Amino acid sequence: MFFQSRSLLFPLLISLFLSSAFASESDHKYHRDEPVTLWVNKLGPYNNPQETYNYYSLPFCHPLSNASAGHKWGGLGEVLGGNELIDSQIDIKFQKNVDKTVFCRIDLSEAKVKQFKDAIENNYWFEFFMDDLPLWGYVGELHPDKNGDGKHVLYTHKNINVKYNNDQIIHVNLTQDIPKPLEVGKHLDMTYSVKWDSTNVTFGHRFDVYLDHPFFEHQIHWFSIFNSFMMVIFLTGLVSMILMRTLRNDYAKYAREDDDLETLERDVSEESGWKLVHGDVFRPPRYLVILSAVVGTGAQLALLVLLVVLLAIIGMLYVGRGAIVTTFIVCYALTSFISGYVSGGMYSRNGGKNWIKSMILTASLFPFMCFGIGFILNTIAIFYGSLAAIPFGTIVVVFVIWAFISFPLALLGTVVGRNWSGALNNPCRVKTIPRPIPEKKWYLTPSVVSLMGGLLPFGSIFIEMYFVFTSFWNYKVYYVYGFMLLVFLILIIVTVCVTIVGTYFLLNAENYHWQWTSFFSAASTSVYVYLYSIYYYYMKTKMSGFFQTSFYFGYTLMFSLGLGILCGAVGFLGSNLFVRRIYRNIKCD
């Protein structure tokens, strides 16, 4: 594992060293009889996707000495995805068929038999790569014997079928047979065969075979998008109708100047609602430095998700190993200016003074949150000896990206936001003495408004969460990023509408602490997403063991926190615009 980190500490040296060896694979073009490398990658229990180990952690034999086996070092996302490609040293040449051939022999000792039996009982699968195309197979299986008990057998023959179009590999498929029983003291000859067939499929469509079109393009998926879209239309129409009618009546009543004294006194005595808190509604929120940091971070995450999804639509990032993760990390670093700008502007407009604390918190809040969860998971992975453990060199690279790109950009954004935010220009002057908040019914309390605020946004993404979770946890390749873009835009609109309604109800209850409530009202969507992840774990997966359970709930916690910050920022910014708009046209003392 630590040797793997050298690829990241010395990428230039490694790339120069390997450029000649992997030239054909990099451009995906071969000459007849040119060597084609079969890479072994990882293996692990099929029901536990993140619990993966080095292929040779099981006592498989090598055609040559293990020391001479070449490694293929991938990009940042590939390493973070737990990939470790090792040259299988199996002799394969382009367009050259190979009959059944022995490439190595396994001498079964008691320890080796036990390892193989444990792997078979846990339904171990493995992954190979040829020309960046994956091949999968099982280590072995249990065959029933005469007594009805399971008999462990190991697959000893690998049949590789390759389809090509001119000088390019289009499709690879692996089938296994010749199962042999595992008996101490026996010798098993590991064999392989290769068959080449031509095809008319073009190189640009060679990945289509890995896409599950019936699953992702099922009518339920289309119906969920349509249903969410109708929810948006209904919700925005309802919000506009109710709020504009109410506000129009309030404006007309509040702006009357020709009332006689009796009418005016009666109106004043009956006056209630959002207008009465005009002297407190723009009071700076508590824990301003934290709120500005999470709002800035959420604005960055919203832009980041939009950018990555658009790049995925344009560039088909699902094709490359770890391409999505690499794109996410790079784009996060480059968009850090946004978090600083939004946070700095908000902090300045609310009269914040502790700028150093604001800068550092904005730049480090989300990365250190992820680092804390990642550190725990990485410790577990190291203890288990899993490929999911992040090498030290990769950690250094990620830290360098944050320290020398993300952090400075966030600081720069904070400075720019502070200086370009403009002077404090609230529609109403803040009174010196805070107004007491009257007691209201339980459903108008900030905690209830916050919890209820996440229901409709979660409902708009509920179906899409199933497809996303299934892709990540059940070996599906997610490729319908057009759907994801639509769902993301729907989520933003629904979140803004629901948060505005919640803010209006809160202000009407004469509670002017709307800032944190609007944030938590939108952020509570993540609470329902996490609750759904618990349901999904127990009802839709067969995961087991401390390792996989830790990674599942650790990753979903990381995802939910990010989603909560994103939605919270969107909800707050929408409510902020709404509050400034409604108080702009009333007369303030």
162 and 242 both lie in a single domain = no
Q: Are residues 224 and 200 in the same domain?
A: no
Q: Are 228 and 127 in contact (CB under 8 A)?
A: no
**pLDDT grade for 171, boundaries at 50, 70 and 90:** very high
Same domain for 228 and 204, yes or no, is: no
Question: 483 and 538: one domain?
Answer: yes
Which of 119-123, 254-258, 577-581 comes out lowest in average pLDDT?
Answer: 254-258
Q: Does residue 267 form part of some domain?
A: no
Contact between 43 and 126 under an 8 Å Cβ cutoff? The reply is yes
User: Of the candidates 194, 210, 226, which is a domain's last residue?
Assistant: 210
- Average pLDDT estimate for 137-161: 86
Task: Please report whether residue 347 resides in a domain.
Answer: yes
Q: Which domain holds residue 407?
A: 215-247+272-582
251 pLDDT band (50/70/90 cuts)? low
pLDDT digits (tens, 9 = 90+) for 363-373: 999 999 999 99
CB atoms within 10 A of CB 141: 15
Same domain, 302 and 336: yes
- Total count of domains within the chain: 2
Residues 114 and 143 in one domain: yes
Q: How far lies 493's CA from each of 237, 323, 338, 489, in Å? A: 12, 29, 20, 6
**Which of 157, 188, 210 finishes a domain?**
210
Asked if residue 234 and residue 183 are part of one domain, the reply reads: no
User: Cα angle at 477 between 473 and 478, to 5 degrees?
Assistant: 90
Q: Which residue has the higher pLDDT, 108 or 217?
A: 108
pLDDT in tens, 429-476: 888 888 888 887 888 888 999 999 999 999 999 889 999 999 999 888
Long-range interactions of 137-142: CB distance < 8 A, separation 24+? 137/174, 137/175, 137/176, 138/46, 138/176, 139/43, 139/58, 140/116, 140/179, 140/182, 141/179
> 191 and 241 share a domain?
no
Q: Are residues 364 and 416 in the same domain?
A: yes
Q: What is the pLDDT of residues 488-498, one digit of tens each?
A: 999 999 999 99
Does residue 259 sit within a domain? no
139 pLDDT exceeds 80? yes
**Can you tell me the distance from the alpha carbon of 199 to that of 163, in angstroms, rounded to the nearest whole number?**
6
Using pLDDT thresholds of 50, 70 and 90, give the confidence band for residue 226. confident
pLDDT tens digit sequence for 328-347: 999 999 999 999 999 999 99
**What rounded mean pLDDT belongs to the chain?**
87
Angle, alpha carbons 453-455-461 (nearest 5°): 120
The answer, as to whether pTM is greater than 0.95, is no
260 domain-assigned: no
Average pLDDT over residues 298-315: 95
| Residue 65 pLDDT class (50, 70, 90 cuts) | low
Looking at residue 443, what is its pLDDT? 83
Mean pLDDT of 170-179: 94
**One domain, residues 168 and 240:** no
Residue 149 counted as domain residue: yes
433 falls within a domain: yes
Q: How sure is the predictor about 15, in pLDDT bands with cuts at 50, 70 and 90?
A: very low
Position 501 in a domain: yes
Same domain, 125 and 30: yes
Choose between 350 and 519: higher pLDDT. 519
Question: Residue 444's pLDDT is what?
Answer: 82
Regarding whether 222 and 132 lie in a shared domain, the answer is no
Please, which residues bridge with residue 138 across strands? 125
- The stretch 105-114 carries a mean pLDDT of 94
Q: Is residue 181 part of a domain?
A: yes
